Structure 1
């Protein structure tokens, strides 16, 4: 899903626009065509290639800004919400992040939403994400 940006090293310092087809694959693959066009018109803007290059090389660069301290004892509760059909951050990536974070003493949970893509927080089903997050927060308030 990141190949339109990462496919050209010169994109590191550029703002890179996505075509509708690229946006559809990366973000709006789990919604119908009409909603995908609406999301593209509303949210697709050229963005810096820097964060994608940093994330892609994070395992090779120990000083990257993308580095995460998974053992930070000060970290609060963490909820990872993933979409079953997400092409940009596939479930395998979310599960790998969860496995890294579950070693932390703070609460760590993962929740996979069926039939959802990367647009899960901006598409018609955003309320399901909000309700999942609010339920997690409510549970943490009961514990704390």
Structure 2
């Protein structure tokens, strides 16, 4: 019996449904992997269903979401690779540090405890949420305008609006508040054990990203370099936070596949 294909678990971040990974699933399936994109707890089967029942996402925090993916991984036939975007990139690093994944790629990952960089563009991107403490246990939704400003600033307004209609969903505000308090909360859920034995990790930043500016990803890279495991960084010019779903997604997928292959995490020839 042939060995099972290596699974890849794709983890979305706030405000994007797991459907946004569909082109990546097709790409990595053709490359010989077994890709899957489970949603967060509370997500509906598609963006429309999620929008119709946004209350199901109320008060979902980082620990709950990470445990949700850890349980999913426990039922897989083989240890997976994890690929995450934004808060999904943070969760991917947590799962990699737990030793339940063999490698990871974090695209524009949200920062965690120990990262002290807070660029003005990032503060502006979440300031409206943090200014409303009553949202902590609720969900919050982007408008087409705010999505273009924060996610789609590096693409045309027409493409940004198309992504908004196709993939954008409400998201729990709790992770944003957790991130804001991570460096003053000794037991913060927004933390990564950068010293844990782990597989190779690639961090990807977009030079025009406003939600997770490249300075934030570079700070994570410096922390992860304390780990004896492989850590690599790529900063992509002209790319914003929407880069996993916009017209340049294929460039990121190519880069990801090349990284996995270079560290012998790809399918056997």
- TM-score, normalised to structure 1, is 0.94
Alignment partner of 1:43 out of 167, 170, 175: 167
Q: Could you tell me whether the CA contact under 8 Å between 1:16 and 1:49 is conserved in 2?
A: yes
The alpha carbon displacement at 1:109 in A equals 0.3
**Equivalence for 1:13:** 137
Q: Could you tell me whether the CA contact under 8 Å between 1:4 and 1:18 is conserved in 2?
A: no
- Unaligned stretches of 5+ residues in structure 2: 1-124
Q: Could you tell me whether the CA contact under 8 Å between 1:76 and 1:107 is conserved in 2?
A: yes
After the TM superposition, which parts of structure 1 deviate over 4 Å for at least 4 consecutive aligned residues?
none
CA RMSD of the aligned region, Å? Answer: 1.1
The alpha carbon displacement at 1:35 in A equals 0.1
**Equivalence for 1:109:** 232
Distance in 1, Cα, partners of 2:213 & 2:131: 19
Describe how 1:1-144 pairs up with structure 2 within 5 A: 1-73=125-197, 75-141=198-264
* Partner secondary structure for residue 111 of structure 1: strand
* Partner secondary structure for residue 2 of structure 1: helix
Distance in 1, Cα, partners of 2:250 & 2:183: 34
Deviations 1:11-65 (A, max 9, x none): 1011101122211111111000110110111122111001111111111111111
* Partner secondary structure for residue 127 of structure 1: helix
Deviations 1:73-121 (A, max 9, x none): 2x21110011010000000000000000011000000001110000110
- TM-score, normalised to structure 2, is 0.51
- Unaligned stretches of 5+ residues in structure 1: none
Q: How many residues align?
A: 141
The alpha carbon displacement at 1:4 in A equals 2.6
Distance in 2, Cα, partners of 1:78 & 1:9: 34
Q: Could you tell me whether the CA contact under 8 Å between 1:6 and 1:52 is conserved in 2?
A: yes
Distance in 1, Cα, partners of 2:167 & 2:131: 22
